[in-house]
């Protein structure tokens, strides 16, 4: 156990050097494009905002159930099922049937002669139904169908939230799914949480609709930006899905902030056709059910580019452009929990954590030196190497360090010398019966190996479980603890053992005390 080949020594110190060098990157005061890595400070250390958002999928369920009307009617018609009094409720379809048994057979049937392009969704149990009084049937989404809608909406919402936050320029945000309907957003160092809340609180459903009293498609009465009540056709000329880009700009003539937008090919065709057919009419630009602008169509717009004006400030124009670029949320988002940590509190946490780490570090070093003399110095050297490697690995991973993470580092300092204590105590026992110092040290390392591995592996298993089932701060603690255990084993059984072998082999004829 005390013999090391030159190649083993080379690789031990190469690994130590390569990992430890990354810990020094955290001290650089300028941008390094080649090695631009560092340990990021979490929300509780540098301050910022914590938001827990929840999707409200009621409107999406209502929209999705309406999309099932035509397929369901066609399914009934193709299979000669007579229906009456077809009604659309908020989240279900209700109608009366003469032949309920045939409908039930059709709904769950797998016979080839009943299969058609519209039945696949029904056979996959996306929808379910229940019988009501007087031969009425109510069709609604099943639990599986609702779960599918929620999961899809949640994934899409996370992506759009990420786009909006990235566009604002927030550094190192944390955006994670929490449960079936919630999104966790952590924004370290954020100075204007209200702006983010406004941006995330807007669905940004944009559409272009004509100002018209024609009731062919139905009308909605909406209030314009100047307080004017307008009748807006329910027919959507074009939606925000056709936007490629949107940027804030200044209108040269009036020096007013506006939003310039660019449409895709399909959007340009729709917009060009609508403006060509309705010259002289007004076109309402509706965002989340509110008119933000209703300009006159003076001439056909066929270039695929347009401008939105509406008495905006430049900040409002910038935010509107950001919302349009990032796309519309599939469902509204509600803030269910909000916390803001000031930078002063984070600075106090850092100072407290560093003080605790320094005090613990010094006390451990003094104890080990007092207890094991020169071999205590070896253990202390391994402890310093352990910390450098731990911070180096965190830097490579660009991990986010939180207050529980600091607690994990402090715990690692205490645990790091455990391996050496077990080894040294075992060597003491061997020295009582073994005449050869080299054999005693070799046997001490060999026999303590299983005990050290068992003790650290059980702790590592606990760290893995904490990481797998924990959340937020618990994961941070588990990461630092787990990495600390691995670096502890490396420094104890490679670095410390090599340094010990140097001392023993050079003083094998002397009476070494431990």
Where does a domain end: 127, 146, 165? 146
Region of residue 269 (phi > 0: left; psi between -120 and 50: alpha; otherwise: beta): alpha
pLDDT at 314: 85
Range 176-212 burial, b when 16+ CB lie within 10 A, else e: eeeeebbbbbbbbbbeebeebbebbebbbbbbbbbbb
Length of the chain: 514
pLDDT per residue as tens digits for the range 260-317: 889 888 889 888 998 898 888 888 888 888 888 888 888 888 888 888 877 778 888 8
How far is 375 from 380, CA to CA, in rounded Å?
Answer: 9
**Do 125 and 226 fall into the same domain?**
no
Are the C-beta atoms of 324 and 245 separated by less than 8 Å? no
**Do 483 and 381 fall into the same domain?**
yes
Q: Which domain range does residue 120 map to? A: 59-146
**Do 142 and 276 fall into the same domain?**
no
**Do 270 and 416 fall into the same domain?**
no
**Do 420 and 459 fall into the same domain?**
yes
pLDDT per residue as tens digits for the range 67-87: 888 888 888 888 888 888 888
For residue 499, tell me if it sits in a domain: yes
Where does a domain end: 97, 127, 146? 146
Of 109-118, 139-148, 426-435, least confident by mean pLDDT is: 109-118
**Do 492 and 365 fall into the same domain?**
yes
Cα 188-190-191 angle, rounded to 5 deg: 150
Residue 251 clears pLDDT 80, i.e. is over it: no
Where does a domain end: 112, 146, 180? 146
Greatest CA separation for the chain: 108
Q: Residue 246: CA atoms inside 13 Å, Cβ hemisphere, count?
A: 23
Domain count, the chain: 3
How far is 132 from 146, CA to CA, in rounded Å?
Answer: 21
Phi and psi, residue 177, nearest 5°: -80, 140
Are the C-beta atoms of 234 and 215 separated by less than 8 Å? no
**Do 72 and 32 fall into the same domain?**
no
For residue 322, tell me if it sits in a domain: no
**Do 24 and 75 fall into the same domain?**
no
**Do 298 and 355 fall into the same domain?**
no
**Do 210 and 307 fall into the same domain?**
yes
For residue 51, tell me if it sits in a domain: no
For residue 63, tell me if it sits in a domain: yes
Residues ≥6 apart with Cβ < 8 Å to 182: 52, 53, 54, 55, 336
pLDDT range class, residue 328, cuts 50, 70, 90: confident
CATH assignment of the domain containing 452 = 1.20.1640.10
Are the C-beta atoms of 333 and 196 separated by less than 8 Å? no
Which residues is 87 bridged to in the sheet?
A: 94
The token pair at 186 is 């952590």
SS3 137: strand
**Do 222 and 249 fall into the same domain?**
yes
Question: Where do runs of H (alpha helix) occur along 252-291?
Answer: 265-277
For residue 490, tell me if it sits in a domain: yes
Q: What is the mean pLDDT of residues 86-98?
A: 84
pLDDT at 465: 92
CATH assignment of the domain containing 74 = 3.30.1240
pTM (2 d.p.)? 0.64
Strands 136-141 and 92-97, how do they pair?
antiparallel
pLDDT per residue as tens digits for the range 174-205: 888 888 889 988 887 776 677 788 888 888 88
For residue 330, tell me if it sits in a domain: no
**Do 24 and 128 fall into the same domain?**
no
pLDDT at 213: 61
Strands 283-287 and 290-293, how do they pair?
antiparallel
| Intra-chain end-to-end CA distance of the chain, in Å | 18
Q: How many CB atoms lie within 10 A of CB 399?
A: 19
Are the C-beta atoms of 192 and 318 separated by less than 8 Å? no
| Nearest Cα residue to 492 out of 373, 410, 382 | 382
Which residues is 293 bridged to in the sheet?
A: 285
For residue 328, tell me if it sits in a domain: no
Are the C-beta atoms of 353 and 403 separated by less than 8 Å? yes
The token pair at 288 is 């989340």
pLDDT per residue as tens digits for the range 37-46: 777 777 777 7
For residue 321, tell me if it sits in a domain: no
CATH assignment of the domain containing 306 = 3.30.1360.200
């Amino acid at each position: 156990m005390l013999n090391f080949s030159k190649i083993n020594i080379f690789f031990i110190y190469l690994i130590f050097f390569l990992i430890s060098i990354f810990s020094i990157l955290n001290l650089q005061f300028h941008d390094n494009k080649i090695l631009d890595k560092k340990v990021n400070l979490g929300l509780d250390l540098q301050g910022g905002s914590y938001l827990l958002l929840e999707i409200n999928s009621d409107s999406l369920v209502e929209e999705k159930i309406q999309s099932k009307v035509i397929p369901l009617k066609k399914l009934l018609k193709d299979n000669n099922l007579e229906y009456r009094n077809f009604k659309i409720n908020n989240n279900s379809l209700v109608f009366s049937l003469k032949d309920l048994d045939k409908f039930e057979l059709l709904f769950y049937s797998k016979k080839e002669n009943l299969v058609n392009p519209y039945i696949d969704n029904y056979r996959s149990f996306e929808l379910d139904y229940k019988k009501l009084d007087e031969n009425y049937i109510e069709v609604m989404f099943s639990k599986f169908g609702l779960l599918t809608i929620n999961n899809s909406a949640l994934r899409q919402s996370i992506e759009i939230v990420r786009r909006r936050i990235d566009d604002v320029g927030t550094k190192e945000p944390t955006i994670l799914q929490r449960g079936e309907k919630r999104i966790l957003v952590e924004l370290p160092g954020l100075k204007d949480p209200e702006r983010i809340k406004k941006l995330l609180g807007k669905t940004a459903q944009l559409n272009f609709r004509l100002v018209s009293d024609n009731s062919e498609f139905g009308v909605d009465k909406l209030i314009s930006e100047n307080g004017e009540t307008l009748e807006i056709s329910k027919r959507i000329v074009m939606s925000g899905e056709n936007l490629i880009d949107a940027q804030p700009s200044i209108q040269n003539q009036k020096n007013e902030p506006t939003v310039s937008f660019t449409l895709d090919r399909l959007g340009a065709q729709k917009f060009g056709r609508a403006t060509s057919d309705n010259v002289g009419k007004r076109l309402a630009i509706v965002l989340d059910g509110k008119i933000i602008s209703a300009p006159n169509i003076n001439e056909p717009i066929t270039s695929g580019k347009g401008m939105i004006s509406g008495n905006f400030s430049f900040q409002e124009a910038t935010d509107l452009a950001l919302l349009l670029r990032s796309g519309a949320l599939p469902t509204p988002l509600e803030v269910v929990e909000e916390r803001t940590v000031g930078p002063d509190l984070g600075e106090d946490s850092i100072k407290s954590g560093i003080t605790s780490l320094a005090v613990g570090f010094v006390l451990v070093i003094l104890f080990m030196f007092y207890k094991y003399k020169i071999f205590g110095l070896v253990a202390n050297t391994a402890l310093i190497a352990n910390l450098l490697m731990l911070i180096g690995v965190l830097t490579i991973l660009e991990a986010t360090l939180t207050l529980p993470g600091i607690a994990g580092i402090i715990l690692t300092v205490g645990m790091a010398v455990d391996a050496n204590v077990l080894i040294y105590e075992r060597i003491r026992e061997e020295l009582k019966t073994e005449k050869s110092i080299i054999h005693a040290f070799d046997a001490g390392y060999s026999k303590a190996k299983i005990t050290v591995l068992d003790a650290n592996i059980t702790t590592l298993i606990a760290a893995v479980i904490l990481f797998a089932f924990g959340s937020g701060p618990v994961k941070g603690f588990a990461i630092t603890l787990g990495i600390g255990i691995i670096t502890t084993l490396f420094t104890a059984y490679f670095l410390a053992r090599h340094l010990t072998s140097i001392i023993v082999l050079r003083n094998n004829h002397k009476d070494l005390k431990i």
